[in-house]
A = this chain, B = another copy of it.
Amino acid sequence: MSAPIVVDNVAALRAQIRNWRRDGLKVALVPTMGALHDGHISLVKIALEEAERCVVSIFVNPTQFAPTEDLDKYPRQLARDLDRLREAGAHLAYTPGVADMYPAGFATKISVGGPSAGLETDFRPTFFDGVATVVAKLFLQAAPDCAVFGEKDYQQLCVVRQLCRDLDLPVEIIGAPTVRDSHGLAMSSRNAYLSEAERGVARKLNVVLRQTAAELASGADEASAVGEAAEALVRAGFRKVDYVAAREAVTLAPWRQDRDGRLLAAAWLGTTRLIDNVEIPGA
């Protein structure tokens, strides 16, 4: 595979995409914060099935980190990321700087209600404002036909769909299944923070969620089931559980047993916060 074109400004990005569009080529965008792993690469592969050209943005977005969070230590490894994108066959890497995305005087915020209520928002209250604003900017900069987001960040996927529907952003949103290691641990850039021992504990997150989702699907009482799941995570070695919650799969409204649902969780291992989610099959 040839190396991807690397551009770091919106004028060059638009010029390249305009050329592709003039040639009748469909363009997919994969927004990332870099530190690319197999999960991201699976998004690139889906993008290449959906479109003739794949643009990957790499931008560690400061506005979706709270002051107490890991912005400074978030892994940055551009050269390695570009190698991985070359192997995967991505056509363009868009690597804007913070001052390009948020120039002096920047003053606009997009807030998406609906699926952003609760879950992550209870613990990271400004997170989805940061996500919605940067995603809208990336969509308006690149004007892709479609964009691929991982189901790993399931609430984010729902928020981005709502954003596009509400603002009439003409971008098709494609959700991609979570990529897991052989023990079921969801791929995440934050797994890099885990010790070997913590990694063993982390693998229990998916096990507990799968088990609880199966119980819910067979009619278990919701409050007891999610309560027991949270206790099981603490017994397994998680320091703190932010939430385990069953939600309706599309709107993230409270789950009803006759609807397709999603079981979502966030929990802490030492100073690392992990999230995961699994399907609750409808009755």
Instruction: Give the B-binding residues of A (Cβ under 8 A).
Output: 10, 14, 105-114, 116, 132-133, 136-137, 140-141, 143, 162-163, 166-170, 251
- Interface pair B113/A141, CB less than 8 Å apart: no
**Contacting A140 at CB < 8 Å: which of B116, B133, B168?**
B168
* B170–A140 CB distance below 8 A: yes
Question: How often does this chain occur in the complex, in copies?
Answer: 2
Listed A/B pairs (18) with beta-carbon separation below 8 Å: A105-B114, A105-B162, A106-B166, A107-B114, A107-B166, A108-B113, A108-B162, A108-B163, A109-B113, A110-B167, A133-B167, A136-B167, A137-B166, A137-B167, A140-B168, A140-B170, A141-B168, A143-B170
Nearest-CB distance from A174 to chain B (Å)?
A: 19
Q: Which residues of B contact A251 (CB under 8 A)?
A: 105
Residue on B with the closest CB to A142? Answer: B168
Across-interface contacts of A109 in B (CB, < 8 A): 110-111, 113
- Known pairs A10-B168, A108-B110, A110-B167 / 16 extra A-B pairs, C-beta < 8 Å: A105-B114, A105-B162, A105-B251, A107-B113, A107-B114, A107-B116, A107-B166, A108-B111, A108-B132, A108-B166, A108-B167, A109-B111, A133-B167, A140-B167, A140-B169, A140-B170
Across the A-B interface, give the 6 residue pairs with the lowest CB-CB distance, nearest first.
Answer: A107-B113, A108-B166, A107-B114, A140-B168, A109-B111, A141-B168
Q: Give Cα distance in the complex from A39 to B147, angstroms.
A: 41
B residues near A113, Cβ cutoff 8 Å = 107-109
Q: Give the nearest-CB partner of A113 in chain B.
A: B107
List the B residue with the shortest CB-CB distance to A108.
B166
A140 CA to B169 CA in the complex, in Å? 6
Q: Which residues of B contact A167 (CB under 8 A)?
A: 108, 110, 133, 136-137, 140
In this complex, which of A109, A113, A169, A251 has the most chain B Cβ atoms within 10 angstroms of its Cβ? Answer: A109
